[in-house]
Amino acid sequence: MSNHILENEKLRVTISDRGAELVSAVDKSIDIERLWQADPTVWNRHAPILFPFVGKVVNGKYRVNGQEYDMKTQHGFARDMDFVCLDETENHIIHQLTATEETLRIYPFDFSLTVCHELDPQEPSRLNIRWTVENRGEERMLYAIGGHPAFLPPDGITKEQGRVVFPGKEELSCFSANAEGYALPGNRHTLHLDKGYASWQNDIPETWIFENEGVGCVGLSGADRKPFVLVHCEEFPILAVWANPKGPFICLEPWFGRTDDAGFDGTLENKPGMQVLDGHEKKEIAWAIDFCI
């Protein structure tokens, strides 16, 4: 397992072969790390890729075509597997994960997941991310995929002092999850925004889930309302905002798919948010992170 570094005049980013995970993003202009550094006593991740599930499945089991499978881990398995580095240049890193005998025992689809991290040639503060999900089999494939980057506020700003930025939005509908991590979509909350801004301390519970709300961009700022990070996620139907109560970071998470509803029966074809690829079909998904300071 190796780490790979991309660097320009603004950013130095590090991507690991394990999970094709973005593990560091140093803002060279201020010499500050912008990603959570995976303290295992709080949360041992940086920015994992969630695949082929987002969130949990009830009781760690699900069914496809009447057959039951185990998925004991939250967010699937890709984040804990070693990807193959296919290509590495000064500007981009490309990783790939493909189905194995091990994955087929818990997820019965012949897939490939290709991940490209690229420093934007026009915007030096922007990291472009592109996922390509491919169904290599004959039968239709069900999957979910999502991002989970954890951002650190700049020095002098605490999470509680910060704001979550929803550019151009005046209000949004969202729901949360129960203590076991299952979604409660019937328990909705209307978030009234102050010119696109919400207070983390006063308005946001531990987890927010925005489903089909058209959140194409989300960011974080201090009390001065100057964003220090923006996530561009126009293609995604679901966005989650989450923060571990014990940590100083906030996660901005674009998703295709989400955790099971509380009480869900476990049949994958009926699971909310699941995506479908026909035989030998592929889908490309693009998003980007701006480190604004």
pLDDT digits (tens, 9 = 90+) for 207-239: 899 999 999 999 999 888 999 999 999 999 999
- In whole angstroms, how far apart are CA 233 and each of 166, 175, 230, 237, 274? 12, 19, 10, 9, 18
The band of 245, judged by pLDDT with boundaries at 50, 70 and 90, is confident
- Tokens linked to 38: 């995976």
Residue 266: pLDDT over 80: no
- Tokens linked to 169: 């939005």
CA distance 280 to 291: 36
The band of 86, judged by pLDDT with boundaries at 50, 70 and 90, is very high
- In whole angstroms, how far apart are CA 26 and each of 14, 31, 138? 9, 6, 43
Nearest to 173 by CA among 165, 162, 185: 185
CA distance 205 to 152: 18
Each residue's pLDDT tens digit, 180-193: 888 988 889 899 99
45 or 244: which leads in pLDDT: 45
CA distance 173 to 148: 21
Please name each of the domains of the chain with its CATH number.
Answer: 3-291 (2.70.98.10)
pLDDT of residue 172: 95
CA distance 286 to 179: 32
Task: Show the beta-strand stretches assigned E in 21-74.
Answer: 22-27, 32-33, 49-50, 61-64, 67-70
Task: Show the beta-strand stretches assigned E in 193-281.
Answer: 197-199, 207-211, 217-221, 227-232, 238-242, 250-256, 275-277
Torsion angle, CA of 268/208/115/22, rounded to 10 degrees?
Answer: -140
pLDDT of residue 69: 95
